[in-house]
Amino acid sequence: MDEFALIERYFRRPDQPPGDGVVLGPGDDAALLLPPAGDELVMTLDTSLGGHHFPDDLPAADVGHRCLAVNLSDLYAMGARPLWFLLSVTLPQADEAWLAGFAQGLFDLADRAGIALVGGDVTRGPLSVSIQATGAVTPGRALRRSGARAGQRLAIGGVPGQGGLGLRHWQAGERASVSARHLARPAFPLDLGAALVGRAGAAIDVSDGLLQDLGHILKASGGLGAELDLATLPVNEELAALDEADRYPLQLTGGDDYCLLFTWPDARPLPPGTSDIGMITEKGPILLRYPDGRTEPARPGGWRHF
């Protein structure tokens, strides 16, 4: 099957409505798009390499879902409404069963999120998927990392530690656990980002570990600190079953969580499904509050020894 037949079969969807603002989708030299009047465009790009960003043996449908999910996570963390995406797939060979699965996982999520594929590229080589996604936000309303202030509550949507535990399960051949399913198909509340617009202080999607991504908020907001209450971190049943010495490193530094970490400036209730996990303080370092009440500074690596 040549490149054009492959694009036609798996990535063009003539039976689907084209998507908001799509004047011309896949098939010409480039796409034509009409931005929502007066909005700011929000753009992000993530590349996922097989064997590096996802397991080599991840089923194709999961690869399709996951590669789009990591981009949507960034759009939502900015408070953006998803609009369009471009897809670049590099494949060792034109494996039709793999492509069919990939397209199915990809479009399942795309349709749920209301984002339209408007073009892309297909090349031969080691398995790699790049997606560039575009969303829109009302001018001035995007959720930035720099919006945290001392005294704000720290809150999270999603379960930190799930991605790291999922990877451990996957590598041990345990593919059906809640955490392994999250690694394969990162799930996050699709409407949370929009619910935070105009209300949250700062926001970031947690993809590189909670402490590191919290650090990005604190730095971008002018060198603040935070107190993190370990007992309040949301868990799934598998994380809950681990002892603390095993669980904390996963919760604090595991990757691939795709949680939404944000600060909350006032006493209004948090959005449904999110948890209060601490507060923003004047000065660093980040303090970890243990269930027995003692606090310890979160030195990189240092807490591992507890």
Indicate the annotated binding residues. 29, 44, 46, 53, 74, 120-121, 145, 205, 207-208, 256, 303
Crossing angle of helices 210-220 and 244-253, rounded to 10°: 40
Q: Which stretch binds ligand ADP (CB under 6 A): 21-29, 136-144, 263-271, 277-285?
A: 21-29
Q: Which residues bind Mg ion (CB under 5 A)?
A: 121
Distance, in Å, from the CA atom of 270 to the CA atom of 274, rounded to the nearest integer, reads: 6
User: Using CB under 6 A, which of 72, 78, 117, 200 touches ligand ADP?
Assistant: 117
Q: Which is nearer to Mg ion, 2 or 56 (CB)?
A: 2
Q: Which stretch binds ligand ADP (CB under 6 A): 74-82, 119-127, 155-163, 212-220?
A: 119-127
Crossing angle of helices 244-253 and 162-171, rounded to 10°: 110
Crossing angle of helices 3-11 and 96-113, rounded to 10°: 40
Q: Minimum Å distance from CB 59 to ligand ADP?
A: 19
11, interface contact from ligand ADP, Mg ion, none, CB < 5-8 Å by kind? ligand ADP
Q: Which stretch binds ligand ADP (CB under 6 A): 20-28, 61-69, 183-191, 280-288?
A: 20-28
Diameter of the chain measured on Cα atoms:
63
Residue 80's closest CA among 148, 145, 143, 158? 143
User: Using CB under 6 A, which of 18, 27, 273, 302 touches ligand ADP?
Assistant: 27
Q: How far is CA 143 from the centre of its chain?
A: 15
Q: Which is nearer to Mg ion, 120 or 166 (CB)?
A: 120
Distance, in Å, from the CA atom of 64 to the CA atom of 62, rounded to the nearest integer, reads: 5
Distance, in Å, from the CA atom of 103 to the CA atom of 124, rounded to the nearest integer, reads: 17
28 contacts ligand ADP (rule: CB under 6 A):
yes
122, interface contact from Mg ion, ligand ADP, none, CB < 5-8 Å by kind? ligand ADP
Is beta strand 259-264 parallel, antiparallel or unpaired with respect to 203-206?
antiparallel
Q: Which is nearer to ligand ADP, 90 or 236 (CB)?
A: 90
Residue 212's closest CA among 275, 145, 291? 145
Cβ-based neighbours of 56, under 8 Å, separated by 6 or more = 50, 127
Asked if residue 261 lies in contact with residue 215, where contact means CB atoms within 8 angstroms, the answer is no
> 225 has which bridge partners?
281
Peptide bond between residue 285 and the one before it cis (omega within 30 degrees of 0): yes
Q: Minimum Å distance from CB 196 to Mg ion?
A: 36
Q: Minimum Å distance from CB 119 to Mg ion?
A: 8
Q: Minimum Å distance from CB 76 to ligand ADP?
A: 22
Q: Minimum Å distance from CB 118 to ligand ADP?
A: 7
Q: Which stretch binds ligand ADP (CB under 6 A): 114-122, 147-155, 240-248, 255-263?
A: 114-122
Asked if residue 130 lies in contact with residue 63, where contact means CB atoms within 8 angstroms, the answer is no
Q: Which stretch binds ligand ADP (CB under 6 A): 112-120, 130-138, 277-285, 298-306?
A: 112-120
Q: Minimum Å distance from CB 4 to Mg ion?
A: 11
291, interface contact from ligand ADP, Mg ion, none, CB < 5-8 Å by kind? none
Structure tokens at 167: 């990877």
Distance, in Å, from the CA atom of 57 to the CA atom of 51, rounded to the nearest integer, reads: 8
Enumerate the known binding-site residues for Mg(2+). Answer: 29, 44, 46, 74, 121, 205, 208
Residue numbers at the binding site for ligand ADP (CB under 6 A): 7, 11, 26-29, 87, 89, 117, 119-122
